Structure 1
Amino acid sequence: MVEAFAVASGKGGTGKTTGTLALGMALAEEYDVTVVDADTGMANLLFHAGLADVETTLHDVLVEGGAPVAEATYERFGMRVVPC
């Protein structure tokens, strides 16, 4: 069964990225986890996950030219991360 969690807030600086990454890392010890950063305004997950230099992100999948999702998915901390 697939479970999904969304973490959202209208205000920046509330710990959404840090909390999401920590939750993902904890859940990845027992489950198959993918964390997706869909914050197009201030995408920080790529920095926290050490992915600042990646070529393909969620933005490329959704906007630029329809890159395959697999190209925007990276293994980090025992889980998959899709930065924006």
Structure 2
Amino acid sequence: MGLFAKLARSSDLVQGMASRLGVDYGEIVAADPQAQGRKYMRAVLRCSTCGNQDGCSSLQREAAELDEAPSYCRNARLLSHLRGD
């Protein structure tokens, strides 16, 4: 998979995980595009290094909502923070 395809997939996975946890990443970035946009890109880059993207993709296909990010998620702590946990 090429770099841009990998980053696009990672962006979809980050957005999907956030959505399933009740986090509206679009709204967060829109509120402060420079600071939150950088944080979002770091989240996408962290996701791109995950060895379980296929498992994450499967989980997201099966679950419309999640109580918490899976333990393997490299953005679990960030998403929990954004959710206000």
Q: Normalising by structure 1, what TM-score?
A: 0.27
> Whose relative contact order is higher, 1 or 2, with alpha carbons under 8 Å and at least 6 apart?
2
The structure that is helix-richer by fraction is: 2
Q: Normalising by structure 2, what TM-score?
A: 0.27
The structure that is strand-richer by fraction is: 1
